[in-house]
Structure 1
Amino acid sequence: MEIKHNTVVGLTYDLKVSKELDDIESEPFSVEVRDEDDPFFFLFGNSGLPEKFEEYLIGKKQGEGFLFTISSADAYGDADEELIMALPKSQFTAAQGFEPEMLEEGNFLPLMDENGYPLQAKVLKDLGDEVLLDFNHPLVGFDLHFEGEVFEVRAATAEEIAHGHVHGDHGFQH
């Protein structure tokens, strides 16, 4: 079966990123490796991933390799200053599952939006009674370099299509 809309796709890959600074592209460095023990699964056409990511994979079959680069503009774009905000430390209590060391600079806080969907924010600075958080995607501003292989392709179930995500061993358990 080939990758197309409403298929469940499993990938193994090495994701490297690079950034252009002063018209000089940095050397790509690895930020994520997904191997046969931990492949990445998603519902094609409803992944929430950059469009170019799916464009480069459409039509590929199980066992096929891939190698492509997505520019930052086609990936997660540039940082949005409106997504950097100071919030009171009092919002991050032990009762809510937060430990003080989680608010240290450079850490990523696991959070949920108003609809209960998970998101994360990077701690930029301790401001005393407040903490400065960056809600931009962690890969904003980076070119993405993918090299990998299609691990599995199968038809999505009606339930997966209706729910918009993969179920079972490699997805959500309801």
Structure 2
Amino acid sequence: MTISKDKVVSVIYELKTDPTGEIIEKAATETPLTFLCGAGQMLEKFEANLMGLKVGDAFDFKLETAEAYGEASEQAVIELPKNIFEVNGEFDTEVIKEGNVVPMQDSAGRRMNGIVLEIADETVKMDFNHPLAGDDLFFKGEVIEVREATEEEMKAAYAPQGGCDSGSCDSGSCGSCSC
């Protein structure tokens, strides 16, 4: 069976942002990346590079920045009022620290992660760019499973997700649903 739309795919891989650089993410045999192909869970070009492969096939490809998470955007760096980070009337110093990644939601209910850049008297400056924005991505791996999706998997993948658009949520891939 080959990889095509609505097949459940499991792959193992190493991800680098430089072909000779260090591995920044790895999906091993014990913890493969598994997804429903074509359901918008992965980067479009990631899936396109896997189409037609079958179990045992190796892959080695590059996604240009524009095909991955795009360039980092200054508009994704914003200052938020400090009071939105209060718990029981107190600023949450346990979670809101420079360098911490904080899960949040936008006004439309989409989940996203923000990195705390700076804490000022009245505001918190956060960066909502994807951690891999501005990077080319180099994937090298192998297909370890391709199978038909169950009815439950199809329903779960294509059902409306309470305001969370599947392309914006992070899971375990690339830090997160990344790829």
- Smaller-chain TM-score bracket: 0.7 to 0.9
Q: Is the 8 A contact 1:3 1:58 kept in 2?
A: yes
Partners of 1:94 and 1:63 in 2: CA distance: 50
Give the alignment's Cα RMSD to 1 decimal: 2.1
* Aligned pairs (5 A) from 1:68-87: 68-87=61-80
Q: Which amino acid aligns with 2:34?
A: F
**Structure 1 residue 125 corresponds to structure 2 residue 100:** no
Give distance in 1, aligned partners of 2:147 and 2:94: 42
Which of residues 151, 157, 174 is equivalent to 2:144?
151
Once the two structures are TM-superposed, the CA of residue 149 in structure 1 deviates from its matched residue by 1.2
Counterpart in the other structure of 1:142: 135
SS in 2 for 1:5: coil
Q: Matched residue of 2:47: which SS?
A: helix
So what's the TM-score if we normalise by structure 2?
0.77
Task: State the alpha-carbon separation in 2 of the partners of residues 33 and 78 from structure 1.
Answer: 23
Normalised by the size of structure 1, how large is the TM-score? 0.79
1:42 offset after TM fit, Å? 1.1
Q: What whole-Å deviation, never above 9, does each CA across 1:6-54 have from its counterpart, x for those lacking one?
A: 0111111111113xxxxxxx95332111111211111101134322111
Q: What is the deviation of 1:70?
A: 0.6
Find the residue that maps to 2:95 and give its secondary structure. Answer: helix
Does the CA contact (< 8 Å) of 1:10 and 1:39 recur in 2? Answer: yes
- Identity %, equivalent residues: 40
Aligned partner letter, 1:5 = K
Residue 136 of structure 1: CA displacement?
Answer: 1.4
Q: Does 1:160 align with 2:158?
A: no
- 2:4 maps to 1:4: yes
Aligned residues: 156
* Residues 57-84 of structure 1, C-alpha deviations (whole Å, 9 max, x = no match): 0011122211111111211111222221
Q: CA deviation at 1:99?
A: 4.5
Aligned amino acid, residue 9 of structure 1? V
Whether the 8 Å CA contact 1:9–1:42 is kept in 2: the answer is yes
In the alignment, the residues of structure 2 paired with residue 69 and residue 130 of structure 1 have an alpha-carbon distance, to the nearest angstrom, of 39
- Tell me if the contact between 2:9 and 2:143 (Cα under 8 Å) persists in the aligned partners: yes
Counterpart pick for 2:57 among 64, 70, 73: 64
Cα distance in 2 between the residues matched to 1:28 and 1:94: 41
Match of 1:55 in 2: 48
Q: Structure 2: state its 5+ residue gaps.
A: 159-179
Residue number in structure 1 paired with 2:16: 16
Q: Which runs of 5+ in 1 are unaligned?
A: 19-25, 166-174
Structure 2 partner of 1:88: 81
Secondary structure at the counterpart of residue 103 of structure 1? coil
> Hey, what does 2:174 align to over in structure 1?
none
